[in-house]
Structure 1
Amino acid sequence: MKFFYINALLLALVISSAQAAETYITDPEHTFVSFSYKHLAYSIQTSRFNKVNGTITVNDAMDGGTMDIAIETGSVSTGSDTFNKLLRSEDYFSSEKFPIAKFTSDKLTFNNQAITSISGELTIKGITKPIDIEVSNFACSRNFITLKYMCGANASAKLSRSEFDLGKYVPFVGDEISLNIVVEASRE
């Protein structure tokens, strides 16, 4: 009977360790979201959010995990103080009332231990919509400078800004937004 209990305990330890997850904290110096859109049919403009932070968990088998990312809308950076103020205003991100845009996911799709896509929910101005993100680059290794174990990725997605109450001047200013996401994160 003792043998049965020892085997049951070992099996429980193996199962719990197989389901364990590693937590990664985003590096604020190497994590940001840029966005681009058509401007009056003249050009494609690109801007970014400078303050993006969050946590990412990946299970030990590298086949599942979660993401919880916060984007400070007041950190929008266009290269123009005037335009930054406009995008922070009520007509766009309403940064005083909605200082954080959030992305959450519990559906990370892997192929050979590499994340290939992420499905989740994006909330901007209190409006939540599903979004699919395609990952074009994913790598993990020990950082030879900090000696921390890190993962990084490049990803992209498209969304309609009018769906998030950001549609002022549509169709003259394009409704489709292309997101480019750069993430580096250190394991806790």
Structure 2
Amino acid sequence: MNTETVDRPARGAGGGLRGRGGLVIPLIMALVSTYVVIGIAMMEVPPDTTFPGPKFFPTILAVAGYLLAALLTLHYLRNPDEKADQTEYRTYSDWTAFAWVVGGLVVFILLLDLLGWIVAGGLLFWCVTRAFGSSRPAFDISVALLVSSAIYLIFGAGLGLPLPSGILGGL
């Protein structure tokens, strides 16, 4: 009796996608790359624009996204997760951390004009550090405000690109 066939289920047992949950990542990458391609196609570029132009770097990102999505798809199809039918998992999803990051991003988007870049960016940075499990909120807020202030100065003074000043605009 061959113990290998008794102890281990066949590779295709339980469906063709069993152990291939990682295929969600290349799907998301392909969708984002498609969104970038649609943006490139809808972009109006003046005819006298010289190389590289505003479509150059988004094109590189779209091509790289599609290439990585294809390579990841091949990887997940060739190497399915062999522990897919067991209760013990190699990885898990930390939904609390995910909620902190997504919630921080939503608050940042909604309050950017009202609070301004420095405060909203600091709040977003703090939410991300909280998601990563930092236990020093005072230090995190200090660093967040320092980094968002530096970015504000770099974009505003260095590059001439104004960021929303919000409630700090009159100071």
Q: Where on the TM-score scale, by shorter chain, does this alignment land: which range? A: under 0.3
Q: Which of 1 and 2 has higher RCO (CA within 8 Å, sep 6+)?
A: 1
For the pair shown, which has the larger CA radius of gyration, 1 or 2? 2
Greater helix share, structure number: 2
TM-score in terms of structure 1 length: 0.23
Greater strand share, structure number: 1
